[in-house]
Amino acid sequence: MQTNQRQPILTAEELLNNWQGHRGLTRRVIEAFPEKELFTFSIGGMRPFADITKELLAIEAPGLKEIVTGKTNPLVEENNALKTKADLLNAWDEATEQINVYWKQIAPEGFRRVFKLFGQYEAPAINSIFYAIDNEIHHRGQGYVYLRALGIEPPYFWEH
């Protein structure tokens, strides 16, 4: 017997665990950078990993908050308050908690609601959540190359 393609195959809890697992790995990538290179090193004109981290911080918890509240704000990636690796890691850990809290506040129909994230990206919330996770994996892959180019062994990809 074959699978009905409308068969559900993932629960809310599993997707949160998957996301937080990825976020744990990204945290280890941030940690692996030397302080200076985190804010300065780049290849091919791309952003340093600190700026990438700020993008992820700007999208993830704030985006989830918008999905919960239904209120949108413009996306703001710049954050001059985050000046050190410790600042970034603290902000990362705060976002971890916020994501856990907001996640449980999503209404049952909330994952399917079409929503203009940051007043800009119109999609069902579930798609925006997958985008946020995939965007993190994508940019973290970039961080792996930066680390290798710096002669630093990155964390193992799948230990989370």
Q: What residues make contact with a second copy under the rule CB under 8 A? A: 1-13, 15-16, 18, 22, 43-46, 104-108, 110-111, 126, 130-131, 134-135, 137-142, 144-151, 157-158
- Given the complex with a second copy, which of 40 and 90 has the nearer CB atom? 40
Sign of the CA dihedral with 42 first, then 34, 140, and 99 last: negative
Which amino acid, residue 81? Answer: A
- For the bound state, the minimum distance from the C-beta of residue 73 to a second copy, rounded and expressed in Å, comes to 20
Closest CA to 105 of 7, 12, 9: 12
- Given the complex with a second copy, which of 43 and 86 has the nearer CB atom? 43
- Given the complex with a second copy, which of 86 and 145 has the nearer CB atom? 145
Question: What's the CA gap between 64 and 106, in Å, rounded?
Answer: 9
